[in-house]
A = this chain, B = another copy of it.
Amino acid sequence: MTDRKILLSEKDIPQKWYNIAPDLKTPLAPPLHPATHKPLGPEDLAPLFPMALIAQEMCPDPFIEIPDEILDVLKLWRPTPLVRALSLEKALKTKARIYYKNESVSPAGSHKPNTSVAQVYYNKQEGVKRIATETGAGQWGSALAFACSLFGLECQVYMVRVSYDQKPYRKMLMQTWGGKVAASPSTLTKYGRAVLEKDPGNPGSLGLAISEAVEDAVGRDDTKYSLGSVLNHVLLHQTIIGLEAIEQLKSIGEKNPDVVIGCVGGGSNFAGLAFPFLKDKLKGKTNPKVIAVEPMSCPTLTKGLYEYDFGDMAGMTPLVKMYTLGHDFMPPSIHAGGLRYHGMAPLVSNLAKDKVIEPRAYHQIECFASAVLFARTEGIIPAPESSHAIHCAIDEAKKAKDGEVIIFNLSGHGHFDMASYDKYFSGQLEDYEYPMELIKAALKTVPKV
């Protein structure tokens, strides 16, 4: 009988992260100082991040050793299972073999702890006592609170208000791990207070919450800032996903995948699975189709511009070259909360620009339908974000040739998103395609560099 789960033992966990930067076709455009528009030096990032992470952000080496202390904590749930989706395949009557990497098994329920554990470790090494961050749907905030609790650091989370109100359980999760959670815009920061003064009912956005967390970190000596996606070092930490997957496929004698799929918000779970598979593609040794899936309501890769833009709403972060909908973009309150960021990781953007990866956008209702099919066959209730990857995998499986191998990242479970499923079943969800006029208007805020 074919095994459903392909497991690795703890001793076979990857010992190094894969840094895709040196392997890119086009070198990565340097981040620029928000005021001077000159390339950033490490010292410009020092108020925000510990030096070890800044070094990783700019590292020219293709592999970076993972410290034992990080591996030891990752082993609480890693290596994660690679699962052959036998029951889904049967339901689809597909000729493809479908695999998914199950990142939902982490204590926080998503891939996010892969980087939160690493980030908290390096902060602790450099004497940091407190970390400030933002969170959208709460996946990242939970992951950081979890990691802080293990290493004994304080954690302050600015949570986008619409999610704070819609997802109280995720807030309680962060609190159980000892994190402090404020709805953003909050009264804790100057920027938050200014927004609230103009617009007391502001629902918040990831860009806005980032501004608050950055202000918090810059204003206190004991505090640094932490980001859950977008940056090079964050994507780096996630590559353990794809590195494990490659070993797992090898261990059962499976061929290189024909299709590799991940959903994208900031880009980290997609990068985590896809980058290790892109290593050989960039060298011309393999040629998998690698698909980054985003929601129609926040179509960064499919409708944005590839330009220098701010990572946050207030324009406090460095300028990075990326696909963007403009840092003023205010996404609609759809429920796939983690995929609502105006920008896209520079590394993922670079690969999309060079057509190494293929962007694709789906509507949320079709994604929920696929998520329900997945739940009723494979058992796991997926996060709404991950449902975009599932829907794409099903789409590809339906037209697959005999023996095609599809792999996707199940980035998280939906246990804290059941209200979205309730809305889906009661017909309260709507599909929403962000209108081109509004995108054009938002893009006017992209600075001239």
Contact = CB atoms under 8 A, between A and B. Distances in A.
Contacts of A421: 172, 175-176
Given A146-B379, A149-B376, A418 B75 contact: no
A78 to B, nearest CB: 9
A425 B179 CA distance: 12
Interface stretch (A3-11, A156-164, A338-346): A3-11
A381 B173 contact: yes
Contacts of A106: 379
B75 A176 contact: no
A372 interface: yes
Nearest to A371: B176
Nearest to A169: B418
Nearest to A71: B1
- Chain A interface main SS type: helix
Nearest to A9: B7
Copies of this chain in the oligomer: 2
Interface centre among A169, A173, A378, by most chain B C-beta atoms within 10 angstroms, is A169
A194 interface: no
Count class of interface residues, chain A: 35 or more
A4 B168 CA distance: 31
A422 interface: yes
Contacts of A75: 3-5
A255 interface: no
A12 to B, nearest CB: 11
A378 B75 CA distance: 11
7 contacts: A3-B75, A4-B10, A76-B87, A168-B419, A169-B415, A172-B419, A175-B422
Given A1-B68, A150-B377, A176-B425, 13 more contacts: A3-B11, A4-B10, A7-B9, A76-B87, A87-B150, A107-B379, A150-B379, A168-B418, A169-B169, A169-B419, A176-B418, A415-B415, A415-B416
